[in-house]
Amino acid sequence: MKEESEDAKSSTELIEWIKTIILAIVLALFIKAFIFNTAYVVGYSMYPTLHPKDRLISSKIHLYFREPERSDIVVLEAPDEPGKDYIKRVIGLAGDKIEIIRGQVYINEELLEESYIEEDIATQSLNEGGWLVAEDELFVLGDNRRENASKDSRYFGTIKRDNIKGIVNFRYYLADPAATKAWVQYFKSKGMAAVPTDCKSRKGISSFVPAVRSVLQEKIQRNAAKGMNKPLRVMIVGIPNVGKSTLINQISGRKGAKAENRPGVTRGKQWVTVENSLLLLDTPGILWPKFDDPEVGMKLAYTGAVKEDILDIEELAYYLMKLLWTHYPDAVKARYGIEMPEDAPGYELLEAAGRKRGFLLARGEINTERMAKVLLDEYRSGKLGKFTLEMPPKEEMVHE
């Protein structure tokens, strides 16, 4: 009787485990089908906003409660290639007339201010008569307006609203939390305000406006003493591909295209209203005209802020592997299963990883080019872990 009781108990536990696993699978499929999904950027059609190998989260549930809005970045089923998805920006809505005149986009005869495209790049038109957007249809474009860089509504016309599979909310950001904390402490030790934020969870977003007011307290008091009620104006500046627009949208609580705005001094920039007393200037990504330190350029290339096709991909991977091996050896060991000396050169580390992956050429040579591409892909996609490429100067770090 005791053995039968134990067998029945084991059987019940097994059934409960099976139920839990089935429930988890069903829940995961439900979330993927109806709530959100991940997307992976291939190509440069959305450059400079998105870069190859960017990983995105697109919301499906939003489509049940609202229509896609102008300036939304969306994942859509390719109308010209069944089974393939495109990532584009919504430009025209139902009832709009879209025209491209002298390289600029007009909606209902009004110039569309586009802060997200590269400056001085003309938008090519393939239809002199323009496009009329019918009911339940949308007109979409890629942000990369260079010739033949984006296959969009200029080529295949307006798309059905039902082609939209999700609205892109944000990209993954995978900084090392300990390094972020160290940078915050460093900037504060220099008398600067520093607010770590996470646009995915909105952590830290609510601290931004109070921090701005604290930094500009003297200016606010001077204006008040003069009876002036001028709004504070803050410029958001950063290198390409760091999520400036996402940050602004999170701070303002709405899409930049929906926010109250007015053109900035330079074409392609716009003011976004957070509240009546605070305006944020949205700017395109900027880079130094020349890198005095080649290492700066290399680190930007690791992240995709600089196009890798202007560099030797294997050399780039050598330096990245050495950097990761120096600061995050456990992550490299766990991912590639290699054991090497602490002072191993980058090319030997890359060869060892390629050998472990079985990337062999004729006569047993390692296909380091293939391994280089895999390393950069897995670094940018977050498969390797959370990393920060640069730390504050050790002699100046302040610990709380």
Catalytic residue (one of 45, 71, 245, 252) = 45
Characterize the bridge pairing of strands 131-132 and 110-111: unpaired
Q: Which of 246, 368, 242 is nearest to 306 (CA)?
A: 242
Residue appearing with tokens 């190998």: 53
Quick check: helix, strand or coil at residue 190?
coil
> How is residue 252 written in tokens?
């303002």
Rounded distance between C-alpha atoms, residue 364 and residue 345, angstroms: 21
Sheet holding 73-77, edge to edge: 36-40, 55-59, 164-171, 73-77, 85-92, 137-141, 159-160
Handedness of CA 305, 311, 317, 322 (dihedral sign): negative
Using CA atoms, how far apart are residues 143 and 120, in angstroms rounded to an integer? 13
The catalytic residue among 58, 60, 71, 88 is 88
Tokens of 194: 């520093």
Asked if 277 is an active-site residue, the reply is no
Residues in the chain, total: 400
In the block, residue with structure tokens 């003011």: 271
**Cβ partners under 8 Å of residue 321, min gap 6:** 332, 346, 349, 350, 353, 375
Would you call 88 a catalytic residue per the annotation?
Answer: yes
Q: Are 399 and 374 in contact (CB under 8 A)?
A: no
Q: CA 359 to CA 376: how far, in whole Å?
A: 15
Residues known to be catalytic = 45, 88
